[in-house]
Amino acid sequence: MFAIMVIVCKKKKNSEKTHPAFAEALREAAKAGIYVLAYDCMVWEDHVQMDQRISVVLN
């Protein structure tokens, strides 16, 4: 699961350019049946709260 700390984000794109090994591992995990989820979240000094689920793009 990814917690996105930027409220303007509408979808989580796979990080092929910045982290190619991670991007490939994420694709392989999804192919193996692992659920890949992403949520935006609200952050306060004392806690983090998940807000809306956002789509994941695995290229």
pLDDT band for 32, please (50, 70, 90 cuts): very high
CATH number for the 2-57 domain, one of 3.90.25.10, 3.20.20.140, 3.40.50.20, 3.40.1350.60?
Answer: 3.40.1350.60
Domain ranges of the chain: 2-57
- Average pLDDT of 18-33? 86
- Average pLDDT of 24-47? 87
pLDDT of residue 11: 56
Is the separation of the CB atoms in 28 and 20 below 8 Å?
no
pLDDT band for 58, please (50, 70, 90 cuts): confident
Residue indicated by tokens 């000094």? 45
Q: What's 29's DSSP letter?
A: H
pLDDT band for 6, please (50, 70, 90 cuts): low
Rounded distance between C-alpha atoms, residue 25 and residue 49, angstroms = 27
Beta strand 2-4 with 48-57 is unpaired
